[in-house]
Amino acid sequence: MAIILDHSPLTLPAGSREAQAALPGTDRIIILRFARRTTATPTLWAPGVTFALAVDISSDGGSTWWTSAGMTAEGGIVQAKNGGELAESRLTCGIPVSANRVRVALDITGGTLVTELTVETQG
């Protein structure tokens, strides 16, 4: 397991953006964790701010892509099943052995996304 970003502050205005990178080492799982608004973190991820995230994979250096995983989420406090508050939203994405690049597309609506991002890989 490798932590690439650990609770890195992230403030992004509404809009679409994309980033891509070579896949690190031999790890085959990527986990993206977005810190949510809770009673303890009232300045994070406001209600009404939503995002759609797509993780695309390439096995030919980025000439062609296929979507491997995706998610949508809305800000605000979310109650967990145990009665507490959900501290993060998470996306886990399996990576085929043949893949050598990853691309992440993020579309934010409803305001500025204020969160902390953790990115890790696992074997």
pLDDT tens digit string along 6-62? Answer: 999 999 999 999 999 888 677 789 999 999 999 999 999 999 999 999 999 999 999
pTM exceeding 0.85:
yes
In terms of DSSP bridges, do strands 15-22 and 66-74 run parallel, antiparallel, or are they unpaired? unpaired
For 45, other C-beta atoms within 10 Å of its C-beta total: 29
Distance between CA 79 and CA 51 in Å, rounded? 19
Q: Which domains are present in the chain?
A: 2-122 (2.60.120)
